[in-house]
Amino acid sequence: MSTIYNYDLAIVGAGPAGLYTAILAAKKGMKVVLIEKRKDISKMTRYCSEHIILEENYNGDTMILEPGKPLNSKGWIDEDSVNKLRSVKNGWEIEFKGALCPTTEKYYYSRNLKHNAHYAWPDRHPFAWKYDKNYFLQQLLDQVLALGIEYLTETTCYEAVDVPEGVTLKCVKQGKRFKMYAKKLLAADGATAQVAQSLGMNEGRMYFASALTLCLYMSGVKEYNPESWCGFWGLCYGSNFAPLMGTGPAGHFDWADLILIGHSKQMPWDLYEYFTKKSPVAWMFENAKIEQTHSCMTKAFAPLKTPYKGNTLVIGDAAAFVETQMQGAINCAVWAADAFEKELNGKPGFAEYTKKWLESFEFNDDGMMQVVSGYALIPYYTDEEVEYLFTFLDGVTMDGNWSQYASPRMMWHEIHKHDAEIQAQRPEVWAKINKQQNVTLSDSMS
């Protein structure tokens, strides 16, 4: 008996990429099923720092966020605000309700808080907004359900089999195994990329490193400013990766978000103990209380340069080097819905998708190495050397910037204005700078 591929499109993963593709594909008339392993996507299971990033041409697009209400007396926007998020390049607009807190300053501190790299716009307009991602996803899901899309929760797709006529999805729900059949498959299953793995698409993707991330929402942190994003660079803070401090979750923007990134030899809870009890900023945590704890593991793989095979397209974090961010995942969804429409009509939609994917995301080219050199500050340079390099940033305010790619580049651009001084004063530091591009992310973690 021949198999009936009864869905036009099966989507694995109800993150931003999967949800938004489902909405657009259903609006184009496709019969869609959305498969999600979690019971309730409005509850965070995998930590996300939940910022909408506004900088121009970030991952090939620029976002415009129009809050529905003005800032309240505390400096943030109330949860009943109906906001609009618009993509300048890709033309989509999403209306969503929820609280927002502006990020207007970013500081990277050297040892003992002595010097810092400072990023802010002259008029202090926000370069990012903390938002309520889970509420945002719930609102996308409400649209999915209103469109009558079949939505299977607590269902894991553990394997996909792709043949010319369509795709078989092997799924499990509460211990019960079953199969589903679709003409096309979208793998939007996030960084674990299980679907791509089962299709052999991850073979040849270079593995860089894994990071164990611990995030603590804390009340009572001294000198905490909800509008600032801070990084602390130096072994005196206890970690190779700069501990980060950002904004608390919606409903509690008055709490700080302390983010500690470790690995098997620097476990995150040990980093927490050191940072909050022994580091030069331990005083900030004297009266602080942990309100919520979140964690996640990230594995950095080289991105998928050809994110499709047969009838399957892989989008969002599932195909990325670490992460596309929510806004990038939505862009992938917009291109993916077009791609499936074309493929179902015998046109090369996946190849068109791939062109946009490769052109838009910085991690698909040499930008990736810039991330690497940014991360590699510690322990490649000693705390004293970082402090010395940061002296060249005294009195400098760089443009407001969030990007993990652009911020290190901007910082180095400022430092390089002093190359002659560095060569004359500290030839050994100069030699290290010249060697730095050879240091990889894995080196910095080993």
Ligand X SMILES: Cc1cc2nc3c(=O)[nH]c(=O)nc-3n(C[C@H](O)[C@H](O)[C@H](O)COP(=O)(O)OP(=O)(O)OC[C@H]3O[C@@H](n4cnc5c(N)ncnc54)[C@H](O)[C@@H]3O)c2cc1C
Q: Is 181 left (phi over 0), alpha (psi -120 to 50) or beta?
A: beta
Q: Which is nearer to ligand X, 262 or 316 (CB)?
A: 316
Interface region with ligand X, contact rule CB under 6 A, candidates 46-54, 216-224, 234-242, 365-373 = 46-54
Our finding on whether 38 is near ligand X (CB under 6 A) is yes
Our finding on whether 358 is near ligand X (CB under 6 A) is no
Q: Which of residues 198-217 bind ligand X (CB under 6 A)?
A: 213
CA distance 256 to 247: 5
Q: Which is nearer to ligand X, 17 or 429 (CB)?
A: 17
> Using CB under 6 A, which of 5, 8, 9, 13 touches ligand X?
13
Our finding on whether 162 is near ligand X (CB under 6 A) is no
Q: How many CB atoms lie within 10 A of CB 225?
A: 15
Q: Which is nearer to ligand X, 58 or 381 (CB)?
A: 58
The Cα-based distances of 138 to 41, 106, 191, 292, 441 in angstroms read 7, 30, 20, 21, 35
Q: Which is nearer to ligand X, 63 or 433 (CB)?
A: 63
Applying CB under 6 A, what is the total number of residues that bind ligand X? 36
Our finding on whether 17 is near ligand X (CB under 6 A) is yes
CB of 199 to ligand X, least distance (A): 12
Our finding on whether 403 is near ligand X (CB under 6 A) is no
Q: Which of residues 285-344 bind ligand X (CB under 6 A)?
A: 296, 298, 316-318, 323-327, 329
Our finding on whether 12 is near ligand X (CB under 6 A) is yes
CB of 327 to ligand X, least distance (A): 6
Q: Which is nearer to ligand X, 213 or 403 (CB)?
A: 213
Our finding on whether 183 is near ligand X (CB under 6 A) is no
Interface region with ligand X, contact rule CB under 6 A, candidates 14-22, 79-87, 107-115, 419-427 = 14-22
Our finding on whether 182 is near ligand X (CB under 6 A) is no
Residue whose structure tokens are 């003992």: 112
CB 68 within 8 A of CB 81: yes
CB of 415 to ligand X, least distance (A): 26
CA distance 382 to 111: 10
CA distance 325 to 131: 13
Q: Which is nearer to ligand X, 317 or 387 (CB)?
A: 317
Q: Which is nearer to ligand X, 50 or 387 (CB)?
A: 50
Q: Which is nearer to ligand X, 314 or 393 (CB)?
A: 314
Our finding on whether 190 is near ligand X (CB under 6 A) is yes
Interface region with ligand X, contact rule CB under 6 A, candidates 10-18, 276-284, 344-352, 370-378 = 10-18
CB of 407 to ligand X, least distance (A): 14
CA distance 412 to 373: 10
Closest by CA position to 89, among listed 316, 331, 355, 329: 331
User: Which structure tokens are listed for 96?
Assistant: 């969503």
- What b-and-e string marks burial along 398-412, b requiring 16 or more CB atoms within 10 Å of the CB? bebbbbbbbbbebbb
Q: Which is nearer to ligand X, 182 or 415 (CB)?
A: 182
Closest by CA position to 169, among listed 312, 319, 354, 50: 312
> Using CB under 6 A, which of 28, 42, 44, 47 touches ligand X?
47
Our finding on whether 156 is near ligand X (CB under 6 A) is yes
Q: Which is nearer to ligand X, 33 or 398 (CB)?
A: 33
CB of 36 to ligand X, least distance (A): 5
CB of 433 to ligand X, least distance (A): 28
Residues that bind ligand X (CB under 6 A): 12-18, 35-38, 41, 47-51, 156-157, 188-190, 192, 194, 213, 296, 298, 316-318, 323-327, 329
